[in-house]
Structure 1
Amino acid sequence: MFRALSLSIGQLGDPAFLKVLAKSLLLTLVIFAVLAFGLYWLLVWFFAWLGWGDGSGMAAATAAILIALASGWLLFRVIAIAVIGLFTEEIVEAVERKHYPREAAMATKASRAAQVRIALASVGRAIGWNLLALPLYILLLFTVIGPAIAFFAVNALLLGRDLGELVAARHVPKASWRDWLASTRGRRLQIGIVAAGLFMVPVANLLAPVLGAAMAAHMLHRKEA
């Protein structure tokens, strides 16, 4: 796990990494800003409809901003992984070209449709499983740190699946997909734990999608990664 992270960090200066980082960050921030802005105005309208001020009062606006920011923080991971799914091919190609030339030669390039499908499945899983876990998050509120731990655990599992699939699309035949998921469960969990941790650290969370994709590539090709 740490070897995979070390190799991934060491390749951050690769032009392919920098290109994907720039594109994915820009697209992620644009989507993030649009959603946050839209949610803010939706909340302002909703508060006005409830009769809380006139819809432009300080209390309503402040509450809307806080809720929009909190929702945005929760959704950032979902958006970032979905976006990186559109550019994973470039990251994995760069990793394989440098570290695993034999595997790179045998890879089957994932179609754009396949990448979009995997990204959308990732979004669906993230929203669905976190909604299912919401009662647990609420139940653990009295423990203060409980919701954060539960949120971390759920999303570590999801990230391991998401990042693994993004890489496996190049190497694992559809017929072997289930077997691959079963055989890599432990390694994918390790990647998910590291990625979830990175997403919780300011600044590092901006690099988390790219590093996670690179780590997943190492995980697939290195038994000891």
Structure 2
Amino acid sequence: MLQDYSRAIDQIGDPAFRSVLIRGVGLTLAAFVAVAILAWYLLSLVPEFQSDWWSWVNYLVDIGGGLGVVVLMAFLFPAIVTMFMSMFLDDIAEAVERKHYPSDSPGRELPFGPALWLSLKFAGIVILLNLLILPLYVLTFIIPPISLVLFYGLNGYLLSREYFELVAWRHVDKTTARRLRKANQGRLWLVGAFITFMLTIPIVNIIWPLIATAAMVHCFKRIQRRSAA
């Protein structure tokens, strides 16, 4: 696994990587700006207490609402940035295959429509499950190991499934991709948990989807060859 990431990081200067990074980060920032504007507008609709005795409540609402938006955006950042980056996964996968696997059959480019739908569906699943499990995170906050197991267990599985299947679908049908994923589920979960961890690190999480995609291409190639052998 570490070798896959090392090879992916070595290729970060590839023009295809820079292009995807610019597009993905631009869309992510635009989405967060839109959310921030919407949140500010919704907070402005909250009635304010006019009495001086209760003016402190207005400050609490403003501060609490602002902090809540920041926390929620940070909480959902992995899902949002991954969604946008996965829209351009073909560019990264093609660049990796062209450099490291020139003798292999080239992958099939995923049509934009299905790729966009899969990205949106995946992001929706990640966001929904994380919101549903949020009360457990809060209740187990005083016992950090439980929260960490829940967070990395859930997102490790979801991210490994998303990255692996989108890479695999360039070369095999969905049934074969699912079979390969299930046969290597434990190893792929570790890859997904590591992706999740890196996506929680500020700054690093901006470029990590690119590195994770490239690393998953190497991982898929190794699994595919082992299965063929």
* TM-score, length-scaled by structure 1: 0.88
* Paired AA for residue 84 in structure 2: V
Deviation at 1:153, TM superposition (A): 2.4
State the partner residue of 1:92: 93
Counterparts of 1:122 and 1:116, CA distance in 2? 10
State the partner residue of 2:196: 196
Tell whether the 8 Å contact from 1:4 to 1:219 is kept in structure 2 after alignment: yes
- For the structure 1 residues 138 and 59, does the alpha-carbon distance in structure 2 shift closer, same or farther, using more than 3 Å as the test? closer
State the partner residue of 1:130: 130
Counterparts of 2:125 and 2:50, CA distance in 1? 36
Deviation at 1:89, TM superposition (A): 0.4
Counterparts of 1:208 and 1:147, CA distance in 2? 23
TM alignment of 1:1-225, pairs within 5 A: 1-45=1-45, 47-48=46-47, 57-103=58-104, 105-144=105-144, 146-223=146-223
Max radius of gyration: which structure?
Answer: 2
Of the structure 1 ranges 176-185 and 142-151, higher mean CA displacement relative to structure 2 is found in 142-151
Counterparts of 1:60 and 1:127, CA distance in 2? 25
* Paired AA for residue 85 in structure 2: I
* TM-score, length-scaled by structure 2: 0.86
Counterparts of 2:26 and 2:190, CA distance in 1? 28
Counterparts of 1:26 and 1:113, CA distance in 2? 20
How far does the alpha carbon of each residue in 1:106-155 deviate from its partner, in whole angstroms, 9 at most, with x for none?
42111101211210121122023223323422331222454244223211
- For the structure 1 residues 49 and 219, does the alpha-carbon distance in structure 2 shift closer, same or farther, using more than 3 Å as the test? farther
Gaps in structure 2 of 5+ consecutive residues: none
Counterparts of 1:12 and 1:147, CA distance in 2? 33
Counterparts of 1:106 and 1:76, CA distance in 2? 32
Tell whether the 8 Å contact from 2:49 to 2:58 is kept in structure 1 after alignment: no
Tell whether the 8 Å contact from 1:156 to 1:189 is kept in structure 2 after alignment: yes
* Paired AA for residue 216 in structure 2: A
Gaps in structure 1 of 5+ consecutive residues: none
How far does the alpha carbon of each residue in 1:20-45 deviate from its partner, in whole angstroms, 9 at most, with x for none?
11111111111122113212332442
- For the structure 1 residues 111 and 49, does the alpha-carbon distance in structure 2 shift closer, same or farther, using more than 3 Å as the test? farther
How far does the alpha carbon of each residue in 1:34-79 deviate from its partner, in whole angstroms, 9 at most, with x for none?
113212332442x42899978x943322112101100100111111
RMSD: 2.6
- For the structure 1 residues 129 and 64, does the alpha-carbon distance in structure 2 shift closer, same or farther, using more than 3 Å as the test? same
Tell whether the 8 Å contact from 2:160 to 2:191 is kept in structure 1 after alignment: yes
Tell whether the 8 Å contact from 1:44 to 1:64 is kept in structure 2 after alignment: no
Tell whether the 8 Å contact from 1:44 to 1:60 is kept in structure 2 after alignment: no
Equivalenced residue count is: 222
Counterparts of 1:187 and 1:147, CA distance in 2? 22
